[in-house]
Every structure is written in C-alpha cells, then in structure tokens.
Amino acid sequence: MKILHLCLASFYIDNASYQENLLPRYHKRLGYEVEILASPDVFDVNGKLIISEAPRCYFNEDGIKVRRLRYVHNLVDHKLKRFKGVYESLKEFEPDVLFIHGCQFLDMFSVVRYLKNNSAKVFVDNHADFSNSGRSFISKYLLHRVVWRACAQAILPFVERFYGVLPSRVDFLSSEYKVPLDKIELLLMGADDDCLSFPRSIIDRLRARFSLSSDAFLIVTGGKIDNAKLEVLELMRAVAEFEGRVKLIVFGSVLPEIKDKFDCLLNEHVIYAGWVTPEESFHFFELADLVVFPGRHSVFWEQVVAQKKPMLVKYWPGSAHIDLGGNVIFLERSDFKEIKGCLENILEDACFFSKMKASARSDESEKFLYSNIARQSLGLK
C-alpha cells in the first residue's frame, strides 16, 4: 500500500519530532511505501519561519522521499498556500492512502480534482484551535470561516476520518469548519518509541555537566521560547526564589527580541542548556523530577506524558487529555505568584508529589507512543 503525506498547510522540518515526521516513519515501519509532499516552509537557526531554497526532492533521515513544492507566488501564496505541481505529483505517485496534515491550503481543490477521478482512502488532521489560530478578526472570520472552511467542505465527501490532535482541535473542526461530529476523532500526538530507551550513562553525564547533587530537585522546560511562551520568564523568576537544591534547566531556541531579558534571569539555579536535538530532549526530560510548560501548548507535552514524568502546565481548553488521573497540575494564570505557589506545594508535600509520580507511571501513558498512534491514524486496531 502506498501512503502519501501532504504537508502543505504548514511547515515540514527535517530531523524533527513533529507528528509530520513521526507518522510517516511509523507508517513505513508498518510495511507501507511512504512519500511526503511538503511546502518549502522551514525554521532558521533562530526558530523563525522561512521559505527554504534547499533541494526540491530528496530522501529524509528515514529514507522517505520528500518533495518540496514551490509557491506559485511567494508573497501571496505563503499565506494562501498555492503550489506548483500538486495535481501532477498526485498523478505521479498514485497513492492508496492520502494523509493530509491540515486542511488550510488553497490547493486542496487540486487534491479534490484528483480524487474525483482517482480512488484513495483519505484522512485529514487538524492542528488549529483558538490558542494558535483565528486570533484576529480577519483570521477568524475570513480565513477560517470562509476560506479554510471551504477547503474542508470540498474534501469532506472523500474523507474517511478527520482527526483533531487535541480535544480543542476536534472542537475546532466542528465549530469552525462544520465537519460532522461522526466524521471526527481525537488522534493523540506523542513520543517516538525509539527515543525512550538509552544508556543510563547519558543521564549521569548530564548530572555531572550541570553539577547536580544527588538530592537536587530538578525542573526542566524546553521548546521554542518566543512571544507565545513568555511565561517561561515567569518560571525562571519563580525558581530563582528558591534556595538550595531546586534548579531549573531551560533548553531550546530563544527569540532574539527577548534574549536580553532571558539572559538576565540566568544564575546558578536557572541554567540555559541551549538548543538540543529532538533525541536529546528525551534525555533532559528523563533527568527531570518535574517538567513545567507554563506557556502555549507544544508537542513536548504529549512526549513527556509518554516519558511518564509529572508536569505543571498552563491550562488551555481541550488540554485535559494529558491528565492520566493526577500526573498534571494545570496553571490558570501562569504568572510568577501562581507558579511559585504550586512549586512550594509540591516541594513541601512529599505525599502529594508521590501520587503525581505514580499517576505519571500509569499504563495509560502508552496511548502516547507513535507505534500505537500510527496504527490508529490508518484505522487499524
């Protein structure tokens, strides 16, 4: 069976651990022939979205063929997502399964034109909700409720299942794109199974690198730190209030505009580890006693659930899926005072924190492994 992943609604990043990377990887492991048709959007070294001038056709780290299409016109179509060669690429590959990552691209109508004359099983996922989309009048009422809704409705007759990758993104499909509820399902994001096992010596080296004592209570946070995640600065301020054994390690890219404020908060208790690879992120989270995500949702949330670590995260509507029965504390304001108070409760109540850790180790965490997610995404048991 031939599966074509369409990554045209947004970016596709090589050597990353996004769903767009891991689903094709695990579909290939299931024995299918897999290709990726992608936009030219990538991140630069500072985490800024740019249009890549890299080779248009190549094999990625998993030996999967990637074709990057060019925009018809860069300035206009970077937003509206019209590409050169969508219909022709579909005709050439002749997929048995189309897995469409996001329905927010105008060339959806090229996909519909292909499907009117060719048979394929179609799945569409959705990564948009009101935490990252529809935040202005034009975005909400013009782009999402007119343009992208038209794209979703056009592909709807051909789709076996729409997937929201968060509960809030299930709701978004229904409320904003008017997709019938009986066609929508939650498809979790999660962790690459391969990265969960590694030598203990890696953790020992990290402890030595950051001079962590055996009784240190280590908090870890990570990801792209930008204007949507300024709450990380509040976490840094809160941890600096604790003396002694409490430490915080922050990793990831930092937006240049906030780098000076960020650097001013670093000290012997608040440490910046710089950018790390997707594989190394597993090592840092494994090192942690507690993982904190005080800002907007990232794919790391589900990864940490799969790693069986207790968490402190900012509450967003539709984020309760990561709660396995007490492994998570949700922050409402995610400001200095609230974060500091939650950390004080955790540090002072050993029994409470033990219950958090026990909940994090639940077998329910296995739902967040991509070996299981990949099968579900194709409707397999």
For the full predicted model, state whether its pTM sits above 0.85: yes
In terms of Cα–Cα distance, which of 280, 321, 255, 367 is closest to 17? Answer: 280
Domain ranges of the chain: 2-187, 194-368
Residue 195 tokens, joined: 């990265």
**Average pLDDT taken over every residue of the chain:** 95
Residues ≥6 apart with Cβ < 8 Å to 333: none
Q: Which residues lie closer than 8 Å to 336 by C-beta, 6 or more apart?
A: 234, 237, 238
CA distance 119 to 256: 48
Q: Is pLDDT above 90 for 183?
A: yes
Write down the CATH superfamily of domain 2-187. Answer: Glycogen Phosphorylase B; (3.40.50.2000)
Domain 194-368 in the same topology as domain 2-187: yes
pLDDT at 281 over 80: yes
Neighbours of 259 (CB within 10 A): 13
The dotted CATH code for 194-368 is 3.40.50.2000
pLDDT tens profile 82-133? 999 999 999 999 999 999 999 999 999 999 999 999 999 999 999 999 888 9
Position with higher pLDDT, 154 vs 227? 154
For the chain, what's the residue count?
Answer: 381
- Stretch 307-318: mean pLDDT: 94
Examine the pLDDT at 336 and tell me if it is beyond 80: yes
- 274, β-bridge pairs: 251
| Whether 255 contacts 227, CB under 8 Å | yes
Q: Does 55 have pLDDT greater than 90?
A: no
**Residue predicted with more confidence, 304 or 278:** 304
Residues sharing a CB contact under 8 Å with residue 269, sequence separation 6 or more, in sequence order: 239, 240, 242, 243, 246, 247, 248
373 contacts 23 by C-beta, under 8 angstroms: yes
pLDDT of residue 6: 98
